[in-house]
Amino acid sequence: MRKKIVAGNWKMNMTFLEAEKLVARVAEELETRKLKNTVVVLCPPFPYLELATDIACLSNFSVGAQNVFPADSGAFTGEVSPAMLESMEVEYCIIGHSERRKYFGESNEFLARKLDALLKFNIIPIFCCGELLDERNSKNHFVVVEKQLKESLFHLKKEHVEKVVIAYEPVWAIGTGVNATPAQAQEMHAFIRGLIAKKYSKKLSEEITILYGGSCNAKNAAELFSNPDVDGGLIGGASLKAEDFLGIVDSF
């Protein structure tokens, strides 16, 4: 059975006190839930990782970072290494988010290096892929996603790929309030699973977790997650309020 994941990407939000309150509330509420095959991951900004991991060790959620630099250490002012994350017991890390690609010019080749760096320290990458609106409108969305996977992910050996979580994020649906229809989400998730099967094996394609990340909220999560190839969500804005985020967790 594939692992189901609901991961909250806080992006650059929350003061320390707000973060402390939110983590504590989520931890408290999760204690009352039987999550079965569902993993909850909180991905706060770097300054709050220790706060989150301290609470996580006594609760039933995991902690993820929002980014990483592909080097063990060095003169890279302002960056955070996978060795640092591993030393703090951070289990997951988001890479390739469309905002990193857009605002910081991260290429597919650079993301391949990040994947390698994370896997070296046994941190689970949440690898994001997805198309822009004009790429969807010009019907190039499959080409774009295939290129992203081939150039960033497909250099990995089978035993490494099986540790990766993929998050499909239609860029045109992030923060816009417009989400892909359940049919559109399922179509792309099935396409990605097909690429994995072709490159590696059908068995691996059936085991890898693929999340949806585009304006997912408590109202539409259940319908999105009911698709056979959608294994959960990478949640943005809705992860900043405990009630909204927990409503998504309860959608399975």
- Active site members: 97, 169
| Residue pair 189/210 in contact by the 8 Å Cβ criterion | yes
Give the sign of the dihedral formed by CA 174, CA 102, CA 109, CA 90.
Answer: negative
Give the number of other Cβ atoms within 10 Å of residue 34's Cβ: 7
First to last CA, the chain: 14
- How far from 49 is each of 89, 125, 150, CA to CA, in Å? 9, 16, 31
Distance CA 231, CA 138 (A): 27
- How far from 167 is each of 62, 84, 126, 193, CA to CA, in Å? 17, 24, 6, 12
Q: Which of 52, 6, 66 is nearest to 244 (CA)?
A: 6
